[in-house]
């Protein structure tokens, strides 16, 4: 899945007078909350609308699972703070209470006490005395010292996902995927139950917590009906069950049925069966993801966070990605990678553009803009994968950024700013299409090379591979031939933005002195810094100083494209050969450390713009219209709910753990 937050970075000439709809919902700390429209929902059939309604209910029922996965105390803390927030009768307008409110909003936004992106623990801006005062107001009974330590002691549960080399990644990570167990014991455990010769391996460890008991026995606590998280899963199953009655066709019914069976049994073989059925259903217009999917929350990549997204195909925009996928073989054949790493036949690239209707779990409120699933490599190889671009989310980002001053501050000249306004959105969606539809699916591993050979560097390099694929081809004449870009120079707007972002502006999301941790961000700096440094002797791109400010100038776009191609070839070689050392060198050299001066400057200039570095969304509320017999006659999305209202409502009606 691609990351959310290319935020604040988009701007395009759009007609702002077309509707009274307001995209902006809330702003606090480093967060801006937006809302998204669900265009063309009214054009769906009643049956499809009801299907979406029930799938959306299922999407909301797993929220507590994610909170608990992120840290074992998250739900306890959230409920305590909500209790205070709802019941406190003292002064609610004093700075301390507003700080408390902000802290709670941040926890809601991050699904726990750790920042959703940096995974560092969120620091409150009110003090312990004030918190004690708040606690008294609700007659709190529980371990007050533990609660206060979790909130105020920086060193306790400091980081949710620790990726730092030379530490025990498991014991130093505060997620709730492992208990009383070390990295070595975890790796040994999974090595002992994995058969390296298995051509169709299940995703070991995906849906369980690994625990070591006092007597040293190691067990997986499986997340399933009558297992862990059963109280939430039973509701998910019930809504999926209702949804099944409104499935668009027999195949979709099977998809939902097999997911229910997986939730009931916890059997990962069933999950693979479900994934295969899901990837094969390319006919239904309504689609959804619901389950334990992405493993970014586990530094070792075994355990998946719960997430859900409900959507329907945007028929008009999907034509664009059909053109891309129809030509998948051409792209593979002409890719600048070594021949032995190419797929002879590229299969199953099913690409579509979707309209998101509901976000849940790890997709909410911070939201992906693209999805590429399933994750199991062998299923992707045999059955292909589904790639989607979530256009209404991208559009909301885009429109909400209109006029935020970003380009005016960071761009070198008006021409580049204009190019961005004109082609920014078009190239952005196209890059996402190429990344998701072709990039991740391109290339192959040499025989005997493990999918996990690159270990902790794998995620960064995989994202780099997909991004580079998109960057390289965006400048290809074929884009004009296929009518995917309106102008032969349009790609330059994307190149400029990509380099600027990777070299400089993305760092505004990271505190001074810290390294880049998140794999999409690592990937972007890796690419930008690599091509910048390789191109320096020929001055392909330069960072120049004007009036004490640093600006990016790109002198040779064609050469830049070749450098993207060179790096793509190298990253593909590393992946295909499982060359861990080379992958490690590349990531360590280019992706992690930020240039301290540029970092400081970017933060100072960005601060003045007052743009939130992270953004996310509230969901619409779907109203059921019924006739006098109680029969559903319509489903209508509404867009009035604000962030706090939504969070409190979800906590009231969708909290089962
Ligand atoms: Zn990706």
Mean pLDDT in runs of 10 for the chain (657 residues)? 30 37 92 96 98 98 98 98 97 97 98 97 98 94 96 97 94 98 98 94 97 97 98 98 98 98 98 97 96 96 98 90 90 96 77 92 93 92 88 86 86 92 89 89 93 93 97 97 94 97 95 94 98 98 96 98 98 98 98 97 93 94 97 97 98 98
320 CB-contact burial (10 Å; exposed 0-12 / middle 13-18 / buried 19+): buried
Q: Would you give the DSSP letter of residue 487? A: S
With residue 211 as reference, give the H or E element that holds it.
Answer: strand 208-212
pLDDT of amino acid 352? 80
Q: Ligand 1: distance of its center to the CA of 440 in Å?
A: 7
Q: Ligand 1: distance of its center to the CA of 467 in Å?
A: 7
pLDDT of amino acid 5? 30
- Strand pairing report for 614-618 and 621-626: unpaired
pLDDT of amino acid 403? 73
Q: Ligand 1: distance of its center to the CA of 238 in Å?
A: 32
3-state secondary structure 573-591: HHHHHCCHHHHHHHHHHHC
Q: Which two tokens stand for residue 262?
A: 């997986």
Q: Ligand 1: distance of its center to the CA of 465 in Å?
A: 9
pLDDT of amino acid 347? 60
Q: Reduce the DSSP state of residue 370 to 3 states and report it.
A: strand
Q: Ligand 1: distance of its center to the CA of 526 in Å?
A: 15
Q: Ligand 1: distance of its center to the CA of 387 in Å?
A: 10
Q: Beta-strand (E) ranges in 213-255? A: 218-222
Q: Which two tokens stand for residue 93?
A: 């307008």
Query: Which string of DSSP letters, residue by residue, matches 77-114?
Result: HHHHHHHHHHH--S-SSSHHHHHHHHHHHHHHHHTSSB
Q: Ligand 1: distance of its center to the CA of 471 in Å?
A: 13
Q: Which two tokens stand for residue 454?
A: 């690159």
Q: Reduce the DSSP state of residue 224 to 3 states and report it.
A: coil
* Cα radius of gyration rounded to whole Å, the chain: 24
Rounded to two decimals, what is the model's pTM? 0.79
Q: Ligand 1: distance of its center to the CA of 2 in Å?
A: 4
Q: Distance between CA atoms of 132 and 148, rounded to whole angstroms?
A: 9
Q: 324, 352, 530, 353: which is closest to 442 by C-alpha?
A: 324
Q: Ligand 1: distance of its center to the CA of 435 in Å?
A: 6
Q: 13, 147, 122, 519: which is closest to 301 by C-alpha?
A: 519
Q: Ligand 1: distance of its center to the CA of 588 in Å?
A: 20
How far from 119 is each of 72, 110, 173, 369, CA to CA, in Å?
A: 15, 9, 9, 20
3-state helix, strand, coil in the chain (%, to 5): 50, 15, 35
Partners of 353 in the β-ladder = 389
Backbone angles phi, psi at 576, to 5 degrees: -65, -40
The H-assigned helical ranges of 411-489 are 414-433, 458-474, 478-481
- Strand pairing report for 178-179 and 621-626: unpaired
Q: Ligand 1: distance of its center to the CA of 119 in Å?
A: 19
CB-based contacts of 327: which residues, under 8 Å, 6+ apart? 478, 482
Give the chain's end-to-end CA distance (angstroms, integer). 27
Q: Which residue has the tokens 């960005």?
A: 606
Taking the alpha carbons of 293, 298, 303, 308 in that order, is the dihedral positive or negative? Answer: negative
Q: Ligand 1: distance of its center to the CA of 626 in Å?
A: 41
Q: Distance between CA atoms of 458 and 583, rounded to whole angstroms?
A: 8
**Contact (CB, 8 A) for 209 and 176:** yes
Q: Distance between CA atoms of 515 and 513, rounded to whole angstroms?
A: 7
Q: Ligand 1: distance of its center to the CA of 72 in Å?
A: 29
Q: Distance between CA atoms of 23 and 20, rounded to whole angstroms?
A: 10
Q: Would you give the DSSP letter of residue 336? A: S
How far from 206 is each of 42, 169, 271, 303, CA to CA, in Å?
A: 37, 17, 10, 4
Q: Ligand 1: distance of its center to the CA of 432 in Å?
A: 8
Taking the alpha carbons of 291, 294, 298, 302 in that order, is the dihedral positive or negative? Answer: positive
Q: Ligand 1: distance of its center to the CA of 463 in Å?
A: 5
Q: What angle do CA 527, 613, 545 make, to 5 degrees?
A: 60
Q: Ligand 1: distance of its center to the CA of 377 in Å?
A: 14
Provide the b/e sequence for 419-457 (b: ≥16 CB within 10 Å).
Answer: bbbbbbbbbbbbbbbbbbbbbbbbbbbeeeeebebbbbb
Q: Which two tokens stand for residue 295?
A: 């493993």
Q: Which residue has the tokens 């409104």?
A: 246
**Contact (CB, 8 A) for 71 and 157:** yes
Q: Ligand 1: distance of its center to the CA of 605 in Å?
A: 29
pLDDT of amino acid 348? 44
Whether omega for the bond prior to residue 156 falls within 30 degrees of 0, making it cis, is: no
CB-based contacts of 110: which residues, under 8 Å, 6+ apart? 70, 116, 122
Q: Ligand 1: distance of its center to the CA of 277 in Å?
A: 22
Q: Distance between CA atoms of 6 and 60, rounded to whole angstroms?
A: 25
């Amino acid at each position: 899945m691609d990351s959310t937050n290319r935020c604040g970075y988009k701007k395009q000439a759009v007609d702002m007078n077309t509707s009274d709809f307001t995209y902006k919902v809330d702003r606090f700390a480093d967060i801006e909350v937006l809302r998204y429209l669900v265009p063309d929902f009214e054009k769906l059939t009643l049956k499809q609308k009801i299907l979406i309604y029930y799938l959306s209910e299922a999407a909301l029922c797993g929220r507590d699972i994610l909170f608990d996965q992120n840290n074992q105390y998250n739900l306890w803390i959230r409920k305590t703070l909500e209790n205070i927030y709802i019941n406190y009768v003292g002064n609610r307008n004093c700075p301390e209470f507003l700080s408390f409110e902000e802290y709670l909003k941040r926890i809601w936004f991050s699904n726990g006490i750790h920042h959703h992106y940096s995974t560092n623990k969120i620091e409150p801006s009110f003090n312990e005395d004030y918190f004690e005062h708040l606690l008294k107001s609700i007659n709190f009974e529980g371990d007050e010292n533990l609660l206060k330590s979790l909130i105020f002691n920086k060193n306790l549960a400091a980081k949710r996902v620790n990726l730092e080399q030379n530490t025990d990644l498991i014991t130093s990570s505060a997620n709730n995927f492992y208990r009383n167990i070390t990295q070595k014991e975890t790796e040994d455990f999974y090595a002992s139950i994995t058969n390296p010769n298995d051509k169709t391996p299940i995703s070991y460890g995906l849906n369980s917590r690994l625990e070591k008991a006092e007597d040293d026995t190691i067990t997986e606590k499986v997340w399933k009906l009558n297992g862990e998280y059963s109280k939430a899963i039973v509701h998910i199953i019930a809504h999926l069950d209702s949804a099944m009655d409104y499935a668009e066709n027999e195949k979709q019914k099977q998809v939902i049925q097999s997911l229910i069976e997986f939730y009931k049994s916890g059997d990962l073989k069933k999950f693979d069966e479900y994934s295969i059925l899901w990837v094969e259903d390319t006919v239904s217009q309504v689609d959804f993801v619901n389950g334990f999917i992405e493993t970014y929350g586990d530094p070792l990549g075994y355990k998946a966070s719960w997430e859900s997204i409900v959507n329907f195909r945007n028929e008009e925009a999907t034509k664009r990605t059909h053109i891309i996928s129809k030509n998948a073989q051409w792209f593979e054949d002409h890719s600048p990678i070594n021949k032995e790493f190419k797929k002879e036949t590229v299969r199953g690239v099913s690409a579509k553009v979707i309209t998101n209707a509901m976000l849940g779990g790890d997709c909410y409120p911070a939201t992906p803009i693209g999805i590429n699933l399933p994750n199991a490599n062998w299923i992707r190889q045999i059955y292909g994968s589904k790639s989607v671009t979530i256009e209404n989310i991208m559009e909301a980002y885009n429109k909400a950024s209109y006029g935020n001053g970003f380009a005016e501050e960071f761009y070198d000249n008006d021409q580049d700013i204009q190019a961005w306004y004109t082609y920014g959105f078009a190239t952005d969606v196209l890059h996402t299409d190429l990344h998701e539809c072709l990039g991740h699916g391109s290339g192959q591993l040499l025989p005997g090379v493990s999918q996990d050979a690159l270990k902790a560097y794998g995620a960064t390099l995989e994202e780099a591979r997909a991004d580079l694929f998109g960057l390289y081809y965006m400048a290809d004449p074929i884009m004009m031939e296929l009518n995917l870009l309106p102008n032969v120079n349009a790609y330059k707007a994307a190149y400029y933005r990509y380099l600027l972002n990777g070299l400089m502006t993305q760092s505004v999301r990271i505190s001074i002195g810290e390294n880049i941790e998140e794999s999409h961000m690592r990937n972007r700096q890796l690419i930008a810094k690599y091509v910048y440094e390789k191109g320096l002797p020929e001055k392909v791109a330069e960072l120049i100083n004007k009036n004490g400010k640093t600006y990016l100038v790109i002198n040779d776009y064609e050469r830049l494209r070749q450098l993207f191609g060179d790096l793509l070839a190298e990253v593909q070689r590393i992946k295909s050969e499982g060359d861990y050392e080379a992958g490690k060198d590349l990531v360590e050299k280019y992706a992690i450390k930020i240039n301290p001066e540029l970092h400081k400057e970017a933060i100072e200039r960005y601060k003045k713009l007052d743009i939130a570095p992270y953004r996310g969304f509230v969901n619409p509320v779907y109203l059921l219209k019924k006739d006098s017999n109680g029969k559903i006659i319509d489903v209508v999305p509404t867009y009035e709910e604000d962030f706090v209202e939504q969070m409190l409502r979800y906590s009231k009606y969708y909290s089962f753990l």
